[in-house]
Structure 1
Amino acid sequence: MKIRVAINGYGTIGKRVADAVTLQNDMVVSGVVKTRPTIEAKFAIANNYPLYVTDESKIPAFETVGIQIKGTLTDLLKDSDIVVDCSPGKFGETNKSIYAKHGIKAIFQGGEKEEVAEMSFNAQTNFRNCIGKTYVRVVSCNTTALCRSLGEIERKYQIKKARVVLIRRGPDPGNSKKGPVNAIVPNPATVPSHHGPDVNSIFPNLKIVTSAVIVPTTLMHMHSVMVELQNEAATNDVKKLFEKAPRIIIVKAKEGIESTAEIMEYARDSGRKRSDLNEIAIWDESINVLGNELFYMQAVHQESDVIPENIDAIRAMTGIC
């Protein structure tokens, strides 16, 4: 019996989760939910995903443009085993009451507050602790990336403290309504930023301080990471650690991958759908140990690095692990 996965929200994350679920042999997309009859709604139907709306008041807008609706969110939840909430940030708490009413397990995304779920989730760190949970939050793209690389370091060398500067993209590539266009924006202007506490939702004892700026690019985020280690490490050993780590790849400037643009080209040339890069890309040349301090730079494809985490969260919560 395949796990029936409902996806509430079919945008940047939702459509990718749907495609990822379809690739699994023990899961099936029971339906996806849209609020407006956009082109993504038409793509959902083209991909044979049953299309639902949040409530009956939304149906006429879809029928007017000839889009066939299967039913409402309530109907979908009745025919599903778990729901992945991919609605815009801050809607998760409201949706949670709907999920609770139907007694269905739910996965929330990193845009929601930590308190929305029983646990925050990172596959390489706390998969086992999330087995059988009812509500889980997959942490944000940036937090996922930091937990992957810092988690490897913590388990091997133990971290005394970490300092991270996040250079964040502006909007996603498909978003024309946000900036900045010609500015570098502290986001937030206060230090530390919220990213460190979010990492602490996975690693509660890690001493980490983060700051962040937004720059005029849409492709990827980048992190400049500085770590003070408890135990002795060598540069080549850290490189080998990252090379063996799941969901991390090493890229090399000397091979022509000198920027996030080349990383996206790498994803395209690799035949990745939508040019997605689920892995975190760490520049080989940036990895350096000086005394007890480790430095490295990593790039984060904000549209796709959390997708395998959502699949793993489904497995943990439903017990098909």
Structure 2
Amino acid sequence: MDRIRVGVNGYGVIGKRVADAVHAQPDMHLVGVADIVTDWRIRSAVPRLPVFAATPDAHTGLVDAGIRPAGTLDDLLAQSDVIVDTTPKHVAARNLPRYQAAGVKAIVQGGEAHDTTGHSFVAQANYATALGRDLTRVVSCNTTSIVRVLGALDDAGLLLRARGVLIRRATDPWESHLGGIMNTMVPEPVIPSHQGPDAKTVLPGLDVVTIAAKGAHTQTHNHYWTLQLTREASRDEVLDALRAAPRIAFIRMSDGLVALNSTVELMRDLGRPRGDMWEVAVWEDLVTVDGDEAYLTYQVCNEAIVVPETVDAIRALTGTVTDPAASIRLTDTTLGMRQDFLTPERS
């Protein structure tokens, strides 16, 4: 079978991670990446993969910087079956007509509105509805985590409604020098915050409300959930429902993982590329069940969680793998994802 030819437009926080993940897939070929920058961000990619110029000015800039571009964005599109657009918020929406004119399937990220593509994607929830589509949108990091965790409980018939509080990182770590929040916390100006309604674009029947604030930190997000269950349940039932779902991994305070920074450090110690955590990290020893109510907290790596979803979206749009579980399994095995970071995996 021919490998899926994939291009990535935008070599930033998400784009470089998607490019590496695509390169690792046995059924995909990374054609190259395109960007408008000519500084260290794109220069670091030059020794490893083909770099295309996203605009004429970028082409001139690359040449002036001593870099020979592999071509233009149009050249990248001509060689690709799927383009993954990881450009900044709202840029992808303007790029879609260009992709469609080139006859290339396209994936955008969660910064774009659901209406941009008419379909929002999380692999475990609605892979099948993306099969053969020309466009889809991989939802944001926080929305991805909501669909994974609440979707797992919903699939088990346990979830009636969910109310969550999100403490969001202020900015991406590499942009910390540009500004941010110090010694304060900034509430999002509306309730519900956008993550709950966004989750409903993937799971329309979900009864969920989110409240969010930006905190004075740049590494990962933190969620706190109060869950109304459909019936009285045991703690083990809730844990089993989470264990049955892909891309949820347990951490424990009893192991010394007592804060966001300790999990970040663990990812580095485990040898994860860039310290990435593709899974949702649920504190197992904090999961509490009282009759028909459950409470839990988890951590979301905003830089990495959407990467495996994007890989699966590529297979779904091209229709090369029609079974969601098979695609998820292949992606997770290739990336080395886990269900528990410190306990050996169950056979």
Q: In structure 2, what is the Cα distance between the partners aligned to 1:58 and 1:67? A: 11
Q: How does 1:159-308 map to 2 (within 5 A)?
A: 159-175=159-175, 176-186=177-187, 188-308=188-308
What is the CA-CA distance between 1:240 and the residue it aligns to? Answer: 2.5
Letter in 1 for 2:55: D
Cα shift at 1:231: 2.9
Structure 1 stretch displaced more, 54-63 or 103-112:
54-63
Work out whether residues 130 and 316 of structure 2, in 8 Å CA contact, stay in contact via their aligned partners in 1.
yes
Corresponding residue of 2:141: 141
Identity over aligned pairs, percent = 39
Are the counterparts in 1 of residues 50 and 70 from structure 2 also a CA contact under 8 Å? yes
Alpha-carbon distance, 1:178 to partner: 3.1
Q: Per-residue deviation at 1:70?
A: 1.4
Give the drift of 1:118: 3.1
Q: Which runs of 5+ in 2 are unaligned?
A: 322-347
1:93-116 alpha-carbon deviations (Å, 9 max, x no partner): 100011111111000100000011
Q: 2:46: which partner in 1?
A: 45
* Equivalent position SS for 1:157: coil
1:49-64 matches, within 5 Å, as 49-64=49-64
Q: CA deviation at 1:56?
A: 1.8
Once superposed, which parts of structure 1, at least 4 consecutive aligned residues long, lie more than 6 Å away? none
Matching residue's letter, 2:37 = R
1:92/1:116 contact within 8 Å kept: no
Question: Which residue of structure 2 lines up, in the alignment, with residue 31 of structure 1?
Answer: 32
Preserved contact between residue 132 and residue 316 of structure 1 (Cα < 8 Å): yes
Task: Tell me the distance in 2 between the aligned counterparts of 1:125 and 1:259.
Answer: 29
CA–CA separation in structure 1 for the residues paired with 2:231 and 2:68: 60
C-alpha distance in 2 between matches for 1:178 and 1:131: 41
Letter in 1 for 2:89: G
RMSD value over aligned CA atoms? Answer: 1.1
Q: Secondary structure of the residue that 2:57 maps to in structure 1?
A: helix
Q: Contact conserved, 2:152 with 2:244, CA < 8 A, in 1?
A: no
2:84 pairs with 1:108: no
Cα distance in 1 for residues equivalent to 2:151 and 2:139: 14
| Residue 54 of structure 1, CA deviation | 1.6
For structure 1, the residue ranges without an aligned partner over 5 or more in a row are none
Residue 128 of structure 1 is matched in structure 2 by 128
Q: Across the two proteins, how many residue pairs are aligned to each other?
A: 319
Q: Partners of 1:103 and 1:312 in 2: how far apart?
A: 20
Q: Deviations over 1:235-277 (max 9, x none)?
A: 1221232233211111110110001111111111111000000
Residue of structure 2 in register with 1:156 after alignment? 156
Does the residue aligned with 1:174 lie in a helix, a strand or coil?
A: helix
Shift of residue 46, structure 1, vs aligned partner: 1.6
Q: Work out whether residues 105 and 135 of structure 1, in 8 Å CA contact, stay in contact via their aligned partners in 2.
A: yes
Q: Does 1:89 align with 2:106?
A: no
